[in-house]
Amino acid sequence: MVEASSIFVPGLPKGQRHGTIRRMNTSLSATPEISLRPVLLRTFIWMALATLTLLGAYALPPLPLDGPAALIFYWLTEMAGKYGITVILFLLSLVVITRPHISRRQRIREGIVLFVAVSFTNGAMAYFNEHILKPALAIPRPDVLELILEGRIDLTAEAFYQIGEKVERSLYLAERLPPGTPGMHDEIRRHWIRETGYSFPSGHALSAMTTATFFLAWAFAVLQGWRKRLMQALVPWAILAAYSRPILRVHSATDILVGASQGVVTGLLGYSLCYVLLREPSGSQNASDPASPNSV
């Protein structure tokens, strides 16, 4: 009985990504030299075009915050938040490592490296933004400026951000945005109360675009069928998640454009890290484990 399966090799042209394994009377077929550049280039082109679509945020008309559309964008923004993005990263990692024709050993190895790489790169950039770049530039959020203009905040923007840490500023806003505040859903009211940090750049746009870029690179490298289509669908999701920030008035168009650009770079770095850590040295493939690929 002859049993055949395939391994997928990243960085190869379509149609050359499969090395056939036959476990009887045949040996593992030779695979061409793996290249990282084609995957990165193709992913970059896709995500650069996606980022350019965010220029439309400069022309966004104000959206009523008590309408159904605002609530949809609220849930999109929550998906790109700290807790939502963690769940999404975990689930997408499972999609990648459960693809057929790889060994259980590699599934475990890939799962650990993949989740750690994307979490580390995204977390490192988010930390840089939150603790270095945002305080250095000290740009107020649009919703804070709006509340000042409406008289709900009886302080200047500079004085508001000198109240204390985020918790103290949130308590201050909670007193001025009580439940039932007209003109906005209660979920959005609570979101405004939580979002009291500086504005530039957008962390949600960063996380969404990092996720889309990272997993799109994996799709171009090793995925097929519905798995690949799912990763490609992350691109419009990331665009909408980024747009949700100015629609909810907690970021400007410039905030999301820069955050998204950071996300593209971070996602490419995350995939490159996976490539380096998971790629087997040339000629080191374990012959006793024929399902163990010589690639990511």
Nearest to 259 by CA among 118, 166, 84, 125: 125
Question: Does pTM top 0.85 for this prediction?
Answer: no
Radius of gyration of the chain (CA): 23
Q: Quote the mean pLDDT of the chain.
A: 86
Sign (positive or negative) of CA dihedral 260, 262, 268, 271: negative
- pLDDT tens column, 133-143: 999 999 999 99
Binned at pLDDT 50, 70 and 90, residue 164 comes out as confident
Report domain extents, the chain: 4-139+198-278
| Contact (CB, 8 A) for 250 and 195 | yes
What's the pLDDT score for residue 228? 97
Binned at pLDDT 50, 70 and 90, residue 279 comes out as confident
What's the pLDDT score for residue 20? 42
Rounded distance, CA 100 to CA 95, Å? 10
